[in-house]
């Protein structure tokens, strides 16, 4: 369990339950052992509850009544250009990819590649090495061996070239010190001595829900970040118009109601925010970009390097001929386009050192690169298209009376998190003298 027991303990020692009590008149303090209904006394003024439902995009929510009972205020948010590998760190840090440098998972960086030991696997038959079950097993082994703390997947990176690549999420953005650059909300919570809960990605949605339920019942935490990835997986599999999607949303509604019920005892108020990182587009067209590039009179490693993500391809060039030939070839692919620097800059993904690629080729919404370095076979739906494409938009729902006008994109959710923590702090500020009895 990744619940930060340490921070819970440091919080309890810094501000004990008794320290909160002097804000109440003596008679009321006694009355709070149980309330008028015989329920347990409130032990915390406020809980900031942030629930991230992966891929619950605006287009999915727009026509659904999701959350109207417990979070009636809703707003469409811009996502961040890229995948969850950048959306989640942007939410947790309140900053953009160029600032935190958690963008795409794999980069061409042979000097720093930790994967040299995997190269001999290139001699294994492709029928085995391209199988998802084999890749998953190997991923687990490599993650432990390389001491990666964040999300890690070998995906479908060819073993022939794997020593050319580095993986950019070696730490977990769900922990303090987890960003490639700068701080995240968990660093902030530690600095504020705020006891908090955070989901453990190694556990199931239900296990994380239950772990939080147990802590809410005790009033142990003041802030919770719950991460539910199940809808994302389901959407990838069945697409965004399947009846399974609203059914899954109904399940999430029940879970959230359970959490609110559990919090009602120990907390005087729950500030609830339910949100997503991006949406999901159905993929009805596939393009074999890899075959087109490999047909050129160029050699990977000698002339160029590339990562084929599922909706974009990122290239590094080692000579002008490779740059010219590949650029000319990409201009003949009608299903995608080279993203100009000005546009990358507009979306805070123009890295001046070109660490994540010198040229970014992005597919039109609904077009999937198959095969890619992310997967051998097609999937029904995908995200990671242009942030202004219809199905890219994220959503934010809350039970709070307002969402500030400055909250327009998913990194701004971090501002709401900090605001909620500081508001809770204010509401329990103790007066210099005990209140008169």
Q: CB of 381: closest distance to Zn ion in angstroms? A: 9
Q: CB of 277: closest distance to Zn ion in angstroms? A: 9
Of 169 and 232, nearer to Zn ion (C-beta) is: 232
Binding segment for Zn ion among 63-71, 225-233, 384-392, 425-433 (CB under 5 A)?
225-233
CA distance 381 to 369: 12
CA distance 112 to 119: 15
**Binding characters for Zn ion, 181-220, by CB under 5 A (x = yes):** ----------------------------------------
The per-residue b/e assignment along 344-383, b for 16 or more CB within 10 angstroms, e otherwise, is: beebbbbbeebbbbebbbbbbbbbbbbbbbbbbebebbbb
Secondary element (H or E) of residue 337 = strand 336-338
DSSP line for 362-422: EEPTTEEESS-SS-SS--SEE--S-TTSGGG-EEEEESSS---TT--BGGGHHHHHHHHHH
Q: CB of 383: closest distance to Zn ion in angstroms? A: 6
Q: CB of 56: closest distance to Zn ion in angstroms? A: 12
Of 78 and 232, nearer to Zn ion (C-beta) is: 232
- Tell me if the bond preceding 371 is cis, omega within 30° of 0: yes
With CB under 5 A as the rule, give the number of residues binding Zn ion.
1
Q: CB of 26: closest distance to Zn ion in angstroms? A: 54
Q: Are 57 and 395 in contact (CB under 8 A)?
A: yes
CA distance 116 to 9: 42
Of 380 and 418, nearer to Zn ion (C-beta) is: 380
Nearest to Zn ion by Cβ — which residue?
232
Binding segment for Zn ion among 38-46, 226-234, 298-306, 309-317 (CB under 5 A)?
226-234
Binding segment for Zn ion among 105-113, 150-158, 229-237, 416-424 (CB under 5 A)?
229-237
**Binding characters for Zn ion, 357-376, by CB under 5 A (x = yes):** --------------------
Of 232 and 253, nearer to Zn ion (C-beta) is: 232
Is residue 232 part of the contact set for Zn ion (CB under 5 A)? yes
Q: CB of 430: closest distance to Zn ion in angstroms? A: 45
Name the site residues for Zn ion (rule: CB under 5 A): 232
């Amino acid at each position: 369990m990744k619940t930060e027991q340490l921070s819970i303990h440091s919080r309890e020692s810094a501000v004990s339950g008794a320290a909160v009590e002097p804000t109440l008149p003596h008679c009321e303090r006694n009355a709070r052992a149980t309330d008028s209904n015989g329920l347990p006394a409130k032990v915390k003024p406020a809980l900031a509850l942030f629930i991230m439902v992966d891929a619950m995009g605006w287009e999915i929510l727009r026509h659904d009544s999701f959350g109207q009972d417990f979070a009636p205020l809703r707003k469409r948010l811009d996502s961040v250009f890229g995948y969850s590998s950048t959306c989640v760190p942007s939410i947790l840090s309140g900053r953009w990819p160029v600032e935190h440098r958690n963008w795409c998972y794999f980069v061409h960086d042979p000097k720093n590649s930790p994967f040299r030991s995997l190269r001999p696997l290139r001699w294994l038959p492709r029928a085995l090495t391209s199988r998802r079950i084999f890749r998953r097993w190997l991923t687990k082994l490599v993650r432990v061996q390389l001491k990666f703390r964040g999300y890690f997947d070998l995906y479908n990176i060819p073993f022939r070239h794997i020593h050319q690549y580095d993986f950019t999420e070696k730490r977990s953005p769900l922990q303090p010190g987890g960003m490639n650059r700068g701080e995240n909300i968990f660093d902030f919570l530690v600095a504020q001595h705020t006891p908090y809960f955070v989901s453990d990605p190694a556990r199931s949605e239900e296990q994380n829900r239950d772990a939080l339920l147990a802590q809410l019942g005790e009033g142990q935490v003041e802030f919770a970040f719950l991460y539910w990835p199940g809808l994302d997986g389901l959407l990838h599999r069945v697409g965004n118009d399947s009846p399974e999607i609203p059914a899954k949303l109904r399940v999430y509604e029940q879970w959230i109601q359970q959490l609110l019920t559990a919090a009602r005892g120990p907390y005087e108020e729950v500030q609830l925010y339910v949100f997503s990182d991006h949406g999901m587009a159905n993929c009805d067209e596939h393009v074999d970009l890899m075959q087109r590039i490999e047909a050129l009179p160029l050699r990977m490693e000698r002339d160029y390097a590339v990562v084929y993500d599922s909706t974009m391809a990122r290239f590094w060039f080692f000579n002008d001929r490779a740059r010219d030939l590949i650029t000319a070839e990409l201009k003949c692919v009608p299903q995608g386009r080279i993203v100009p620097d000005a546009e990358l800059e507009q979306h805070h993904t123009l890295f001046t050192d070109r660490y994540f690629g010198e040229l970014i080729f992005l597919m039109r919404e609904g077009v999937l690169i198959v095969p890619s370095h992310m997967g051998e076979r097609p999937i029904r739906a995908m995200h990671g298209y242009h942030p202004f494409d219809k199905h890219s938009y994220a959503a934010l729902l809350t039970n709070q009376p307002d969402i500030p006008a400055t909250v327009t994109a998913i990194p701004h959710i971090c501002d709401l998190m900090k605001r909620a923590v500081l508001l809770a702090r204010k509401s329990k500020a103790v007066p210099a003298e005990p209140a008169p009895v």
